[in-house]
Chain A
């Protein structure tokens, strides 16, 4: 069963628009970790954030913000005032104690046009 669902396959926005990338996860563990990674065309996956299951506080880092809601099993990512450099594939991932691997969602491809 898929543990992480990123329902949005592709999103296209115009520069300066706000955009939210959705992530819904599934786990039976009470302790687990959620991650977001950015993969630009160059290929490298860039670690953006880690959140543990006991910390539901939302986080803001510059233009990036994350909304973690255990009630809906969601960990959404918002980019405010998007820029062309934000164009990339964004992966949400879950790590729990039922296995040892990072469970990646299928990714959301974000295109920001001028």
Chain B
């Protein structure tokens, strides 16, 4: 079982819907990440939070809005998504932000936009 828990595992939504993805870890990690992964492609970094503050935003469209309410929880709020946003969204955490830090990933949320 993964130590990074993501919910829901699957999500189907229309382009006008608002939904949220949730990620939780209880390893005491202080860096958390959101990735987007299209089929047969490697993960692409979206956001990095370090000590609950947004550290990196990889020029992600504003229809994706991250939130880190506390050190264990990371959300990704979705609004007015496009069909091309259909993908696997992966959350990861590491003890801290840094090039030497192995990231631990959740199972992901498979998102389909109708």
A residues near B, CB below 8 A? 32-33, 35, 37, 42-47, 50, 52, 91, 95-97, 100-102, 104-107
Q: Is the CB of A104 within 8 A of B88?
A: no
* Contact status of A44 and B99, CB under 8 A, knowing A106-B42, A107-B42: no
Nearest A-chain residue to B90, judged by Cβ = A45
| Distance to closest chain A CB from B73 (angstroms) | 19
**A-B contact number at CB 8 A:** 52
* Contact status of A33 and B56, CB under 8 A, knowing A43-B90, A44-B106, A105-B42: no
Q: Is the CB of A47 within 8 A of B88?
A: no
B interface residues, tally (CB under 8 Å): 23
Which of B42, B90, B102, B108: most chain A CB closer than 10 A?
B42
Q: What are 14 A-B interface contacts by the 8 Å CB criterion?
A: A32-B99, A43-B90, A43-B110, A44-B2, A44-B106, A44-B108, A45-B43, A46-B105, A47-B102, A47-B104, A47-B105, A100-B48, A102-B43, A106-B42
Q: Is the CB of A102 within 8 A of B105?
A: no
A35 proximity list for chain B (CB < 8 A): 102
What CA separation (Å) do A104 and B90 show in the bound complex?
Answer: 14
B90 proximity list for chain A (CB < 8 A): 43, 45
B103 proximity list for chain A (CB < 8 A): 47, 102
B48 proximity list for chain A (CB < 8 A): 100
Q: Is the CB of A45 within 8 A of B105?
A: yes
Interface residue B84 (Cβ < 8 Å from any Cβ of A) = no
